């Protein structure tokens, strides 16, 4: 019981010591002094520049928002879209051939032969050999075989340019001699 009484006295003395004055008063005095001595320096805003409207000096020139000019531009754009649609529409309507799943740079021409009097090219993709005739499609840009020579295949591709328009371009797949 003596230990319990001693422990109780120690706890009470700590509680009474905690209720005494703290060091916050000095901190509050210092903060008040700092607020009083520090003044913000705000620079005044400059006067806004006066807006002086400029008269339109191109009175004799074609007005940029002329209704006729805008109509002509829209007609020209719609004709461009129509010609692009005519170029890609047949390609979209037909069934894709198996070799159109591979990009041209993964293909290698490894030979050519005449099969029933028609030129045929041999193309290697992923260690498999495929036969291609004039009129076959290959590559991912609607590439159609236009001509087969002994050492090359000429293709017509339809691809989008930087502006999104469909354009026709020609490419060649050359014979890869000694490629295994």
pLDDT digits (tens, 9 = 90+) for 36-70: 888 888 888 899 999 999 887 777 776 777 788 77
Tens of pLDDT, residue by residue over 72-129, are: 777 777 666 666 777 788 888 889 999 999 999 999 999 999 988 899 999 999 999 9
pLDDT at 20: 62
Helices vs strands, H then E, count in the chain: 3, 7
User: What are the tokens at 65?
Assistant: 């928002």
pLDDT above 90 (res 24): no
CATH class of residue range 98-174: mainly beta
| Cross-strand bridge partners of residue 133 | 120
pLDDT score recorded for residue 156: 94
CA atoms of 166 and 162, how far apart (whole Å) = 10
- Token pair, residue 86, equals 């005519």
CA 121 – CA 131 distance, rounded (Å): 6
Spatial distance between the Cα atoms of 108 and 177, rounded to a whole number of angstroms? 10
Indicate whether 179 pLDDT > 60: no
Closest of 171, 180, 168 to residue 153, by C-alpha: 171
- Collapsing DSSP to helix, strand or coil, 144 comes out as strand
Count CB-CB contacts under 10 A for residue 131: 12
Using CA atoms, how far apart are residues 22 and 152, in angstroms rounded to an integer?
95
Select the more confidently predicted residue: 65 or 18.
65
For the chain, give every domain's residue range.
Answer: 98-174
Burial class of residue 22 (count of CB atoms within 10 Å of its CB; 0-12, 13-18, 19+): exposed
CB-based burial, 26-56: b 16+ in 10 Å, e otherwise: eeeeeeeeeeeeeeeeeeeeeeeeeeeeeee
Indicate the pTM of the whole model: 0.53
Please report which confidence band the pLDDT of residue 22 belongs to, taking 50, 70 and 90 as the band edges: low
The residue among 100 and 160 whose pLDDT is bigger is 100
């Amino acid at each position: 019981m003596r230990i319990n009484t001693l422990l109780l006295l120690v706890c009470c003395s700590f509680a009474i010591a905690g209720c005494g004055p703290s060091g916050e008063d000095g901190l509050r005095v210092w903060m008040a002094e700092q607020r009083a001595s520090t003044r913000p320096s705000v620079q005044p805003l400059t006067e806004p520049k006066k807006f002086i409207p400029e008269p339109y000096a191109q009175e004799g020139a074609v007005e940029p928002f002329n209704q006729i000019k805008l109509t002509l531009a829209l007609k020209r754009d719609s004709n461009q879209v129509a010609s692009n649609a005519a170029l890609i529409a047949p390609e979209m309507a037909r069934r894709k051939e198996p070799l159109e799943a591979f990009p041209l740079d993964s293909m290698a021409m490894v030979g050519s032969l005449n099969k029933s009097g028609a030129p045929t090219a041999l193309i290697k993709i992923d260690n498999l050999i495929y036969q291609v005739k004039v009129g076959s499609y290959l590559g991912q840009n609607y590439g159609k075989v236009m001509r087969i020579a002994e050492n090359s295949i000429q293709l017509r591709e339809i691809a989008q340019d930087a502006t999104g328009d469909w354009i026709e371009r020609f490419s060649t797949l050359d014979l890869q001699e000694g490629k295994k």
